Amino acid sequence: MSTHQLVCLPFAGSGASFFRNAKSLEGLELLPIQLPGREERFGEPMYTDVRAAAVDIAARIREAHDSDSRVMILGHSFGAILAFETAQLLGAMVDHVFVSGSPDPWHPRAERASDLDEDEFIAQIETFAGYTHPALAHPEMRQIILPVLRGDVRMHESYRAHPDAVLDVPVTALRGADDHLVTEPDMLGWRAATTAAFILETRPGGHMYLADQLDETLEFIAATARVSHGG
């Protein structure tokens, strides 16, 4: 059976640990990427620009790449645009890109949150996601997480892909069926992001469906890899 390394890129404010407890699947090796400013990289300067972040992420993937494995990339919400930019830099190393819970890279959502004051920002993010991060209820944790979350949201909200940016590998767009933040037409916009095959896959749940459906989503990705590559 062919082995695939699945690069996992987190949603805004999240760290690589989100993916580290996922169920092990035969033929699929997870490669969670830790962004600066969180977990073991706490204290490192955070990214302020999506393209600069992609350059660093691509370098980390090259360092960790097993030459006997194929590379796929999964990114949820903020992670989806990081996945798109990183895949462009990696070129032929990448076999498939899975973008989850994010509008296409040319049409960001109209509602913004990054410039609101602290309480309004948290309320808006929770409204967007339909999800409350439990750590935000604790004042000490809130002050640690908030700058990271706000920085990621600001990058996502200010990002616009180059008009001619396009991949030449299959792209699968993943969306929670009850996601009120990112609509099905938003996700269908990703069709323009590749000259290869495009699939829209709807999963049970809302915008943060991945928090409840991580193992099931990884099983879907592993099955997609097996079908796509005959392994």
Query: Tokens 């209820």, residue?
Result: 137
* DSSP symbols for the chain: ---EEEEEEPPTT--THHHHTSPPBTTEEEEEPPPTTSGGGTTSPPP--HHHHHHHHHHHHHHH--TTSEEEEEEETHHHHHHHHHHHHHGGGEEEEEEES---TTS--S---TTS-HHHHHHHHHHHHT---GGGGSHHHHHHHHHHHHHHHHHHHH----TT--BSS-EEEEEETT-SSS-HHHHHGGGGGBSS-EEEEEESSSTTHHHHHHHHHHHHHHHHHHHHHT-
pLDDT of res. 150: 85
Low-confidence ranges of the chain (pLDDT < 50): 231
Whether domain 4-229 has CATH 3.40.50.1820: yes
Residues marked as catalytic: 77, 207
The pLDDT value recorded for residue 202 is 96
Could you tell me the residue ranges of all domains in the chain?
A: 4-229
DSSP sequence for 84-136: HHHHHHHGGGEEEEEEES---TTS--S---TTS-HHHHHHHHHHHHT---GGG
Burial annotation 151-162 (CB, 10 A radius, 16+ → b, else e): bbbbbbbebebe
CA atoms within 13 A on the CB side of 24: 1
Residue 190: the pLDDT is 97
| pLDDT at residue 134, rounded to an integer | 67
pLDDT given for residue 2 in this prediction = 63
- Displacement of CA 15 from its chain's centroid (Å): 11
